[in-house]
Amino acid sequence: MAKMTLRSSPAKNPDHNSPLKSQVVQFRSCFPDGTIFRPFDSSTKSDCISDTRITFPATPFQIGFTYPFPVFTQSLFTLTGLCYIQAMPMVWRILFTLEHIIEQEGVDIGMSELSQLYNLVSHGSYRYLFKSKPHKSHPILKTTKTTPTGGITINLSHIQESPATQERIEDFWKLDPAIRTYPPKSKDPVEVSSTSYTMSSAGKSSKSDSRFSVSDLQ
């Protein structure tokens, strides 16, 4: 019987009628009958992997994601083997903005393009964030107030590029900086999910059978 837990930052006065609780109720239908939803166990480690339980952070649902996650976002976790709770909030903000760019701006971005924009960096307790390439401008602006330093850098550039990768990267850098700023602006804001987005890049996000080295993440 599958169990799903939700990790949220501690609050002094938790609001039991918060939008986050409504999100939990809303995506119950995305899981099989018999799925058990329960509060996050603070003793659970960030790199916890279980055959019967999956833990979600609160951040993606607070900023506008719903579950199941879109193809591009899910591809990152599938290819790296990262658990959802291992991604720092800035990772979710970057993914959210990139999903908006894919859908609203028509720029095809997949894992090979992402690997040209960012490295993954450990941030303690087996948690990870994105770090822009050395001597490069920040691809997505205003996602965090701090610049990651130290830790273990995982270079993603060994992902196999498609013939169009560099062309797509050039299209990305031509975007107005306002479009590359979190939170993205949209005339018709929608929740980001695999059901609400047509995800024109669905086939491109998994265009390579390459895998990030999971051993690098341990």
Q: pLDDT tens digits for 140-199?
A: 999 986 666 666 776 666 677 778 999 999 999 999 999 999 998 865 555 787 755 433
Question: Is residue 91 predicted with pLDDT exceeding 80?
Answer: yes
Q: Which secondary structure element, helix H or strand E, spans residue 53, and what is its range?
A: strand 53-57
- Summarize pLDDT for 50-76 with one digit per residue, the tens: 887 888 888 998 898 988 899 999 999
Q: Is the bond leading into 32 cis (omega within 30 degrees of zero)?
A: no
Residue 50's pLDDT is: 80
Q: Considering only 34-43, 130-139, 195-204, which range has the smallest mean pLDDT?
A: 195-204
Specify whether the CB–CB gap between 212 and 112 falls below 8 A: no
Domain definitions of the chain by residue range = 3-212
Residue 21's pLDDT is: 64
CA distances 205 to 21, 46, 108, 114, 162, Å, are: 31, 26, 9, 10, 11
Whole-model pTM: value is 0.75
**54: helix, strand or coil:** strand
Nearest alpha-carbon partner for 46 in 88, 91, 96, 90: 88
Residue 40's pLDDT is: 75
Return d(Cα 53, Cα 95) in angstroms, integer.
Answer: 24
Return d(Cα 98, Cα 140) in angstroms, integer.
Answer: 8
Sign of CA dihedral 119, 140, 62, 109: negative
Arithmetic mean of pLDDT over the chain: 76
pLDDT, greater one: 206 or 178: 178
Q: Which secondary structure element, helix H or strand E, spans residue 60, and what is its range?
A: helix 59-63
Nearest alpha-carbon partner for 156 in 114, 201, 110: 114
Segment 94-116 shows an average pLDDT of 94
